[in-house]
Amino acid sequence: MSQRNTGISVRNEYNKTTMGQIKVLDQNMINMIAAGEVIERPASVVKELMENSIDAGATKITVSVEDGGRRLISVSDNSSGMDSDDLAQAFDPHTTSKIKTSKDLSGISTLGFRGEALASIASIAQVKAVSKTKDSASAHCVEIDCGEQSTVQPCSGDYGTTIQVRDLFYKLPARRKFLRTANTEMGHITEQLIRLALAHSSLDMELTHNGKEVYRLSGQQDNRQRISELFPSAISEDLIETESNEKGLHISAFLCKPGTSRTSNKFQYIFLNGRFIRDKFISHAIKEAYHGILEPNRYPVVFLFLQMPCEDYDVNVHPTKIEVRFYNANLVHSQILGCLREKILGMDHQTRARLPITPDAAERPIPAATSRRSREIADAMAEFLRKHKPTHTQQHVNSMLTTHHKEPPFGHKQVTESVDHSAPPITALELKFLQIHDSFIVEQTDDGFLVIDQHALHERIIFENLRRRIQNGVLESQRLLVPETFELTESQIDVLENHPNLMKALGIEIAPFGPRTYAIQAFPVLLKRAVPAEFVQDLIDLLDSQSVESDPERLLDAVLSLAACKAAIKAGQKLSNSEIEQLLSDRKSLEFADRCPHGRPTTIKFSIEELEKQFKRT
Ligand code: ADP
Ligand code: MG
């Protein structure tokens, strides 16, 4: 074990020691070494103590921390408590009330069971524990200073348990120096609290740092309420819920739309029977579920609550129990994938523009009476104009409706009244789209406007078109008047010759044309914008980079994405009105129009409501 892990400076001693002088380590040394595995930093203490409180049936847990947990960590609960005998034993190594025989190991339903957390913590800090059971007349307390335990004494105290841990690693400078700033340590502590708070949403929880409240979570919440409280706005607004219950696995998932994705999987909270876990099968299932909807290097935000019989997995595989071993990992993988994928495919994938709220806008109060009155007036006007529609073009009515709806709340009556009701219809407004920077299309919608990435959208259109046609047979191809030739290396020739069916399905005809030279004789019509030789070269590179056992459907997806990318309208390309119209109408008939085949958004939606907020019109 490394010096950093154990915190014990053994290397120099070891060098001086000759072989054949094996000694049994004393118990405190054993505990200190064990502490190296279980207690990495203050956050580990918080986790272990809170888990003990939950196992003991607490409904309320209060955590107070000083100096990022380096000076003090105190965890109080209202659990069943410990009597004086239990208190005397709890800090001894390998003492636990949670398992009794080896049989119990195969169905662990508590968070702890190894009986080493308290002993580990007490071997590396100053600990004071006060506990009282319902039946005992008084509370009892015990103190342990780096393994030196006092006798248990009666003391005053409430029902439940309070454990205070001071000066973590104070006798182990080698470990203490690895502690980071109070802020960093506090970040780890809050993360542990968040995990437990999500896993146990019915519990009251409080966290204070240097006397200041960090979290106060009221109990009796359901999962959605808890998530919303811990992750306000951005995440909780977008949460989509789904559930499944089959073959002994109950899945309750809260999924964010792709627009809320992150650069790491830190925001994937997976809980198994109330325990936060990390699992590569589950992470893979989540990634697969978002395939094609999210860019490959982005991670979706997901909260997954799993329940299954404790006998169906082993938690005794990792000291901090963050990993488990599923006896039927394939079943877990396929059920999670199935449950999530179905919901995700049915989601609205449109990316909504999030305009920044300026402090100015947030600070300016809108008098309730004024805004209500202006809304009433706007509604009455809207109703009036709807009834008198024939006298104006629809666009003009819309523009007036919009103007009225936004009667300024700050008494700018002049502006409102200056709207000219007799103005002639504006015919230019018939056109509801516009290309900007030769790259984006702005389209007006009923409640705002869309900004569309012309390349990304066209990619998706071609991709779906290709896929549909390939599923119904081979792609229609056209003979090239002058065959295009290109050179290949031996290994590229190998790749090419290994995929004759794929080439045929794509409608690409290639024939040898000389040593290591090939000629493209026919090429798919749908890819008319692509340069044949360039496309085929890229295709061979792609096939070469895919692993041999890669799933054929996934391979076809990759090939079609490449084809779509090559054949799509590029950014910087000027489009005619009829080309734009065609794109917009294709968009309407597409199922996944809001994401390109690589998972990037094609469209960002701006709502009038957001704009009104930004212009301070509401
Ligand atoms: P484990 O949790 O693996 O059993 P610990 O060292 O964390 O081991 O705790 C040892 C024992 O101390 C527990 O099994 C439990 O009986 C008792 N205990 C610890 N914390 C509490 C608590 N907050 N309330 C009641 N009992 C507790
Ligand atoms: Mg424990």
pLDDT digits (tens, 9 = 90+) for 237-278: 678 999 999 999 999 999 988 878 888 888 899 999 999 999
- What's the CA gap between 450 and 594, in Å, rounded? 11
Establish whether residue 319 lines the binding site of ligand 1, counting it when its CB lies within 6 angstroms of any ligand atom. no
Q: Whose CA is nearest to atom 18 of ligand 1?
A: 52
- What's the CA gap between 460 and 466, in Å, rounded? 10
Q: Region 467-490: what's the mean pLDDT?
A: 89
DSSP H helices, 7-83, are 11-16, 27-38, 42-55
121 touches 39 (CB < 8 A): yes
- What's the CA gap between 217 and 202, in Å, rounded? 10
Looking from the CA of residue 163, the nearest atom of ligand 1 is 23
Distance 192 CA to ligand 1 centre (A): 18
User: What pLDDT was estimated at residue 490?
Assistant: 85
Range in 21-30, 220-229, 310-319, 528-537 the model is least confident about? 21-30
Nearest alpha carbon to residue 261 among 223, 285, 291: 291
Nearest alpha carbon to residue 148 among 91, 75, 96, 94: 91
- What's the CA gap between 355 and 608, in Å, rounded? 11
Establish whether residue 56 lines the binding site of ligand 1, counting it when its CB lies within 6 angstroms of any ligand atom. yes
Q: What is the mean pLDDT of the chain?
A: 83
Please give the full DSSP string across 492-535, using - where no structure is assigned: HHHHHHH-HHHHHHHT-EEEEEETTEEEEEEEEGGGTTS-HHHH
Q: Which residue has the higher pLDDT, 33 or 575?
A: 575
The 10s digit of each residue's pLDDT in 211-226 is 999 999 999 999 999 9
Q: Region 25-38: what's the mean pLDDT?
A: 79
User: What pLDDT was estimated at residue 407?
Assistant: 33
User: What pLDDT was estimated at residue 30?
Assistant: 81
- What's the CA gap between 329 and 61, in Å, rounded? 34
Give the SS3 label for residue 143: strand
Looking from the CA of residue 53, the nearest atom of ligand 1 is 23
Range in 335-339, 492-496, 583-587 the model is least confident about? 492-496
Q: Give percent of the chain with pLDDT exceeding 70.
A: 83
Q: Whose CA is nearest to atom 8 of ligand 1?
A: 115
Give the SS3 label for residue 378: helix
pLDDT tops 50 at residue 555: yes
Nearest alpha carbon to residue 297 among 241, 326, 242, 258: 258
Range in 373-377, 452-456, 475-479, 551-555 the model is least confident about? 373-377
Distance 325 CA to ligand 2 centre (A): 20
Please give the full DSSP string across 338-365, using - where no structure is assigned: HHHHHHHHTS--PEEP-PPPPHHHHHSP
- What's the CA gap between 80 and 98, in Å, rounded? 14
pLDDT tops 90 at residue 77: yes
User: What pLDDT was estimated at residue 292?
Assistant: 83
Distance 31 CA to ligand 2 centre (A): 14
Range in 32-36, 42-46, 541-545 the model is least confident about? 32-36
Residue identified by tokens 């018939």 is 430
- What's the CA gap between 580 and 458, in Å, rounded? 10
User: What pLDDT was estimated at residue 33?
Assistant: 78
Q: Region 464-474: what's the mean pLDDT?
A: 89
Give the SS3 label for residue 400: helix
The 10s digit of each residue's pLDDT in 148-164 is 999 999 999 999 999 99
The 10s digit of each residue's pLDDT in 305-358 is 999 999 999 998 888 889 999 999 999 999 999 999 999 988 877 777 766 654
- What's the CA gap between 139 and 464, in Å, rounded? 70
Give the SS3 label for residue 406: coil
pTM above 0.85, yes or no: no
Establish whether residue 162 lines the binding site of ligand 1, counting it when its CB lies within 6 angstroms of any ligand atom. no
Which ligand gives the minimal distance to the CA of 114?
1
332 touches 249 (CB < 8 A): yes
Nearest alpha carbon to residue 120 among 70, 169, 51: 169
Range in 295-304, 408-417, 428-437, 595-604 the model is least confident about? 408-417
Task: Give the largest CA-CA distance in the chain.
Answer: 105
Counting ligand 1 atoms within 8 A of each CB, the residue from 31, 52, 128 with the most, and so the one to mutate, is 52
Q: Count of CB atoms within 10 A of residue 118's CB?
A: 24
> Phi/psi of residue 415, each to 5°?
-60, -45
Looking from the CA of residue 111, the nearest atom of ligand 1 is 2
pLDDT tops 50 at residue 603: yes
Q: Which residue has the higher pLDDT, 614 or 357?
A: 614
Q: Whose CA is nearest to atom 7 of ligand 1?
A: 117
* Secondary structure element (H or E) that encloses residue 555, with its range: helix 552-567
Range in 115-129, 211-225, 528-542 the model is least confident about? 528-542
User: What pLDDT was estimated at residue 387?
Assistant: 55
Looking from the CA of residue 114, the nearest atom of ligand 1 is 3
**Cα 103 to chain centroid, rounded:** 37
Q: Who's near 234: CB < 8 A, 6+ residues apart?
A: 260, 354
Q: Whose CA is nearest to atom 1 of ligand 1?
A: 115
Instruction: Name 161's bridge partners.
Output: 77, 131
Q: Whose CA is nearest to atom 19 of ligand 1?
A: 52
Q: Region 526-548: what's the mean pLDDT?
A: 85
Q: Count of CB atoms within 10 A of residue 25's CB?
A: 11
Establish whether residue 113 lines the binding site of ligand 1, counting it when its CB lies within 6 angstroms of any ligand atom. yes
- What's the CA gap between 153 and 350, in Å, rounded? 64
User: What pLDDT was estimated at residue 611?
Assistant: 84
Looking from the CA of residue 113, the nearest atom of ligand 1 is 3
pLDDT tops 60 at residue 13: no
Q: Which residue has the higher pLDDT, 185 or 107?
A: 185
- What's the CA gap between 234 and 608, in Å, rounded? 19
Burial classification of residue 480, based on how many CB atoms lie within 10 Å of its CB (0-12 exposed, 13-18 middle, 19 or more buried): middle
Counting ligand 1 atoms within 8 A of each CB, the residue from 109, 118, 128, 316 with the most, and so the one to mutate, is 118
User: What pLDDT was estimated at residue 390?
Assistant: 41
Q: What angle do CA 124, 126, 130 make, to 5 degrees?
A: 125
Establish whether residue 286 lines the binding site of ligand 1, counting it when its CB lies within 6 angstroms of any ligand atom. no
30-39, 42-51, 315-324, 556-565: which is most confident: 42-51
Establish whether residue 133 lines the binding site of ligand 1, counting it when its CB lies within 6 angstroms of any ligand atom. no
Establish whether residue 332 lines the binding site of ligand 1, counting it when its CB lies within 6 angstroms of any ligand atom. no
pLDDT interval class at 101 (50, 70, 90) = confident
Local structure of residue 256 (DSSP, 8 states): -
Counting ligand 1 atoms within 8 A of each CB, the residue from 31, 55, 100 with the most, and so the one to mutate, is 55
Secondary structure of the chain: what % helix, strand, coil (to 5)? Answer: 45, 20, 35
Distance 316 CA to ligand 2 centre (A): 13
